[in-house]
A and B are shown apart, each in its own frame.
Chain A
């Protein structure tokens, strides 16, 4: 029955046969039913192969029934909406869906790289490590491009994502992970007890595997019970139900992330603007992990052939989608549960036989199978798989006699079949339990790990806890729900009936004809193409720790995180080393449980919201004026205002000369401003600054330096004494928040007895510098209600008053070296006052200047910028500000550290000015001076350029630098080796303009 439609005439609980759905797979137009997954709809057409494997490019079909699927990864959607690496078993079909297979070229049926498979003996574990080591230069141009083209899963979408994504933070009393019967029972109990509950499941429908598990709950079929409980939860006011939502990670203090696929299944929702994905950041007082279990494959020879599925997946194909996995199949098992699959297929009219590795199969299910006339071969394994259709399907298998612990194969016989449903037992899905350090223990009866201890308030229930018996599962879940809610629910646990199952028998490796590394691949990790032979080889090569084996072979890595492979790999390693599985230990499960989208991670914080941007009240004026805007921290400030046909340099030079010769206007609103008041405010400031503020007179300003406790400069600025007990501190633009927090920290933690209040007011004020020889005339034009003369308002003084109707604080301070007033007005008036200043200044030639002109102006004056002339290891001595370090004060922050001999050493780098020999040569920022120029590095470096500009005022370049022992080297010429040349510059005093400060006191 190869390549014939596999859709059965009847059945399929999930599909609506009345609603046909068109889609394409690899460009082929196909039809399925509403309710299908892509995996089901493609399989229904008779197609087996849905992808190629990662390393060997072997053809692969569907193995699993949901998120554990490791082979059938597809890309869905076109162009910018394309999403790679989706599990075909989870992608819900909709009209117009386009899906493509991955990792194949040029087509699924013929793949060039499949030759890797023929040469697979050349691709042992650690192949890349062993092969691509030398020659080194080959890596970049030969090996890496080759590996990148051949490897990789899927293709990234092209273009900008048209959809929206978002995140939400939610708190709950109880988060139930998984809405199978255990999750529903737990949620019901917790809800009835009054808890606020979130229950999330990765599937579109609640119920887990209830529909394929058989048995009854409270006397009804499981599916009916599921429907009733789900409806009740959805209607309850204290519950939020989330389907299509995967709990992808568990972090400290029960912080979990839930990935909701809101609109993937319905293009109409996307078209309406519904967020495509939503990431839930949930803080749960209690977590109930009802994540179920994952069936494990069996490691038999060529167990990856298309047509080999997990038994549960084969069952689900029939029950949910009415799709037969083939015409004639073999169930290969070591447990009773897989007999359900045999029975289901048998009743659907599919030919089926059972191969059971156990000597006895006498549980209720095997007996039912036997009674139904199904052929059962015990003490048997599948020892070989023979392909048909050139490797794209299965033709027959060999069934051999098996005794546990026996490595060879005897009495093989051929059995015709076109599919295999395998079951090696079930592993509790422990991933979330382990994400945040939960301990696990090995259970001999299950031959699997179970949850053990956890530091967080979390409980695993049902299959996730290794409890597979239905009644026990429900009782455990019900009790956990009540415990999580902290109250009784007033209800009793549901009662269930289900056929009893006998114990499984571990089967980690099914021996094959010949040695297992000769053409017979026993796949352990299908997604990463890791075989039993690879693990055994790694072991022989000395990778004894399982964590090393994992990295060497890539077993259990990547997006799959060992869902189906983990325990099988450990079993193989245990047998290879003669150890037990607990002795081997487990590798770490890492978040996410399944991959989730970058869109969900970014949420709404993209584009305009990518980064918080801060704007001053005058921002729009700058933009309208054509300013080049530069980021200064989160602020966006005007860098310069080029005119039409003027380049940036010309604009900057024009602005500088305008300040020097006429008058300029700067938006300095970003400067930090902090009000400090209290009886101990002056003493407090004496502690915070290196210089003294207790002696500052009311109405006067003083420049201060702040150090950290290591003695290094951390901020500077001008502080004003508003009243005896009241100061206004200015900080750097970048330091505003940091310094306010710094002051608070010292007040609260070191000197709580100081009576001082600190209130940051940066954003209350718009602040503008009017700087230049004509600044006073501009201000006078603005109708001040106070005296402006040099006598009435001298340099470093302050007035509060009005300019016309505008209330202002005026500080006569200067960062340009010119006569300068900084005028502050409440921010809502900022734009109005700015416009008035621009208007009033017109007749005096006033022009706005930006941050670059500001920097050149201050560099001409030798004023430092903390962060340019300092690098976090710079002392006041280094920058020549010894005079601002009080010798009288017993203590200030950093004082004791400054006394360390090495901070006073003359070997330290000291601030100097530099004049290049060629006045037109502008040294690059950060250029290194060397002691001696050599042909090539290394050369001994003796310092670096900290600020460097073309000064239009001086008509030549200027620079400042931190140079070893620089102050003693005045007049020396230093060499700065650059790309292709050496620039020479003379050390000078770092003040290039108006050394006496005459311009400040006019």
Chain B
């Protein structure tokens, strides 16, 4: 029921966004999963973008022109994101796009945006492949290549020399595994297995794991269901070595279903407190309007920042795609998530990582980690 309400409120928002149009507006596109398994990312990022646009419009818009959001459903798949990108660029003629959210969406929409010379900023996609996606493609969430360097740094500090990893066979998880191998070296991976998506029975792998000597176990899943099952069977098999995971494990739901199995597990992700800095911060405005975020507040904050950044740039240089690209590449922007800029590949600089830990069923943030 909650999902249905969320979907219908999104639909209502999309309708409202459409009816606000007409005549002299500046159109910004949105591509993200509004339906399907990943719809929670899409809801949070669209809400973040909507708040930014409402604030700008209330303050008079960009040079007197109101901003209009045109939201398209990328369904977390490349094919749907490509269709959405074609529509936004050829029919709606948007000035720039916030999206995609899933890495698969961004990678599929990127060539189309390159051809049309339209800037895309993704607040969520973290696949290392997005780095090379093109000159008009930016993201203000850091690449997984950087995340695994941060993981390697933490492993070195904690003397985790031997690593056992079980990965889910999806683009995201295998890319993360590969860059982790690159960061720590092949020899450090004493146990490296990949299971089919949706696997829930890891018992034979756990039996084999008893033969390996390892310091840390990395459940590398694309979904919290995978990580929950792996962690439960890991602890039930009697292993006591610590566990360490990535951003998928940054899920309140994981603590609920896996309970004490994930207690003490550490992970690295961007801070979920991005934008949650005080009584008048973005987080307060977000919660007042949309309640608790469906996945993670930092997704909404980064989407809010990306939208404001685009509005600022368009206000300065106008709506020409190449001019917008050049200005975005040069900007150092002070947003709700902190001060950040983009490197030559369009990857964000300045959004850091935080080491987090499951304590008493909740995720607490320990300290920031800056990869070397």
Q: Do A and B bind each other?
A: no
